[in-house]
Amino acid sequence: MKPLTLMKSPRKSRWLPDNGAQLLENGEAFFPAVFDAISNAQHEVLVETFILFEDKVGLALHAALCEAARRGVQVDLLIDGFGSPDLSTRFVDELAAAGVHLRTFDPGRRWFGMRMNVLRRMHRKIVVTDGTRAFIGGINYAADHLADFGPEAKQDYAVELRGPIVDELRRFALRAIRSPRPALPQPQQPQQPKAGTAQAMLVTRDNVRHRNDIEQHYRIAIRAARKRVVIANAYFFPGWRVLHELRRAARRGVDVRLILQGQPDVPLARKAASLLYEHLQQDGVRIYEYCERPLHGKVAVVDDDWATVGSSNLDPLSLSLNLEANVILRDAGFARHLAQRLQHLIEHACKQVTPAPARSGWHPWAQLRATVVFHFMRRFPTWADWLPRHVPRLKLLRGSGGSAGADSAGAESHAR
């Protein structure tokens, strides 16, 4: 097999050298870094998020964005219509009055009080300031990403980036937020200085041309693994090809460890993942459940120098429906640090799931369940195309540089 550094990348993905990367664990590290970047921005702030709540974290973001816009910074904020449905009129109007361009991705009407626009969500979490600092990961703007929220506070990760990869994130975010509406003139971006030793790649998933890119990169890395694979993922129910690569890696002696939810915020997620445990454990995959609080992370480490941080879970929604973004890093220092933090979770906050005793005889229910699960995972990417496939819209909320209404249709066209 080819070594990891020589494996071919899917389609238009490209490695960019000379980047700096800093792991940010939970809101305690993430929010101060983001707010500092916004406070120091001089020209431009771009923010995409799935969830923005009107709590102490959301209000702090609101204040930082308004302050930046008032001092002349161009500020664009994109939220998801399903993830952020209940912002007050005052909250929105104050952003607009300050000059923040606030758009919502695919807003949907409620039917009998229920949100029906659940499919094909904008699930990314990206920040770029002045084209020099960028952030990407799984952390939303909500107080439940802080430990003082209590037992339901989430365990999660993001990464701060500097260097050439920031240009890539900026271009992607600009297309996502402003296209096809003409963008305001932008300051010329200087060539990014060398910021570190990491090679970095932005990998996205959409419903147009990049439907499987994130999943393909996971499979490439697992297939090339020689020492270890450590995956911490909140919602774990991947396709059969990812499961196949995990089992093959374990069979050839790779130390494969999964950190999954033990105290889930969505109980069904743990139940779904548990259906796969026996299937994986029989080939030597070790499974740990994080039991201190809900796990919300979407990170992985392979061997000594490959790591990924992003918004994509390994479940049908993220792999086949949602709009997602991960960064992949080749850097021994970053991979080592992330691996150490995940090992800390295993040692101090996880319980290992003991493989079930071997059964004797034929067990029809177990066989039926395994068959159904296997074929569901194998066929889901195809079935996903049968699900509602409306054209999502970006809506510029009232006062944000224009009147209320649809800002653009075909909001996924930027990914073409």
Provide the pairing of β-strand 133-137 with 157-162: antiparallel
CA distance 369 to 275: 8
Residues in the chain: 416
CA nearest neighbour of 248 among 224, 277, 278: 224
DSSP strand E in 26-173: where?
A: 44-49, 74-80, 101-105, 110-111, 114-115, 126-129, 133-137, 157-162
CA-CA distances (angstroms) from residue 48 to 70, 76, 268? 20, 8, 27
The C-alpha angle 262, 123, 28, rounded to 5 degrees, equals 60
State the amino acid at position 352 in one-letter form: Q
CA nearest neighbour of 135 among 340, 334, 309, 332: 309
Helix (H, G, I), strand (E, B) or coil at 96: helix
CA distance 213 to 207: 11
Can you state the angle between helices 26-40 and 56-70, rounded to 10 degrees? 10
CA distance 404 to 102: 11
Phi, psi of 361, rounded to the nearest 5 degrees: 85, -175
CA distance 101 to 404: 12
Sign of dihedral through CA atoms 196, 198, 201, 202?
negative
CA distance 272 to 255: 23
Cα dihedral: 379, 381, 382, 384 (round 10): 120
CA distance 167 to 277: 40
Q: Which two tokens stand for residue 355?
A: 């493989």
Active site residues per annotation: 123, 125, 130, 296, 298, 303
CA distance 118 to 116: 6
